[in-house]
Amino acid sequence: MRAAYQHCFNSMAIDEYFGEVHGPLPYRSIRFHHRLVPRGVAGLAATVNFTDDQPFTRETDWSLLPGHILRPGPEKILTLEEPCDNRDNNHERYYPVKSTDGAEQVLLEKYKAMAALLPDMTFIGRCGTYMYLDMHQVINQSLAGVREWLLSRQAA
Ligand SMILES: Cc1cc2nc3c(=O)[nH]c(=O)nc-3n(C[C@H](O)[C@H](O)[C@H](O)COP(=O)(O)OP(=O)(O)OC[C@H]3O[C@@H](n4cnc5c(N)ncnc54)[C@H](O)[C@@H]3O)c2cc1C
């Protein structure tokens, strides 16, 4: 499809785009475990964060979230979150890993150097730039990238 467009703003994982030639960038992922419980079981709060050493980090009681459309019937859904490596979760890339030795940053710089050789492509977003970004930050980063590209075309 690239040939049909002037420029591609690419939100896929940057290492995946380059076939992981320098090795995969690591990501933390989450396995979600959903279970049905009787609606009468009282939840403590909409979300409970666990700080002990059990495998689960968080539980959400969806029925306590304001404005949530309730499931019909006598049961409600609780969801437990279990952190894991993305390779153990069908390559679902959630959180870029930042270790103290900076190994991931070294790897990322190699992929960024390859990306810099592609004049018709800009990597954006959480997996394209390998940064943990919330939604408003991704929108801001993407709009800024487009603005920069438009200005570079005006200047040319
Ligand atoms: C568990 C979890 C909870 C979060 N909670 C919050 C929150 O409460 N508030 C908040 O602001 N942010 C939250 N975030 C972060 C939020 O999800 C991200 O900021 C946002 O989704 C990033 O947008 P993105 O466009 O970079 O990536 P994505 O939303 O992942 O979009 C990338 C898109 O590219 C597509 N794609 C990938 N590869 C290819 C390919 N080869 N070809 C075609 N398409 C491809 C994908 O299918 C996807 O649609 C959370 C993230 C996670 C993982």
Angstrom distance (rounded) from CA 115 to CA 107: 13
The pTM of the full predicted model, rounded to 2 decimals, is 0.88
How far is ligand 1, taken at its centre, from the CA of residue 126, in Å?
Answer: 7
Average pLDDT, the chain: 93
At 94-113, the pLDDT tens digits run 999 999 999 999 999 999 99
Write the residue with the smallest CA distance to atom 6 of ligand 1: 134
Q: Where are the domains of the chain?
A: 2-26+97-155, 28-88
What is the three-class DSSP state of 25? coil
Contact 94, 88 (CB under 8 A): no
CATH of 2-26+97-155, one of 3.40.50.720, 3.40.50.300, 3.65.10.10, 3.40.50.620: 3.40.50.720
30 lines ligand 1 (CB under 6 A): yes
Confidence label for 68 from pLDDT (cuts 50, 70 and 90): confident
Nearest CA to ligand 1 atom 5: 134
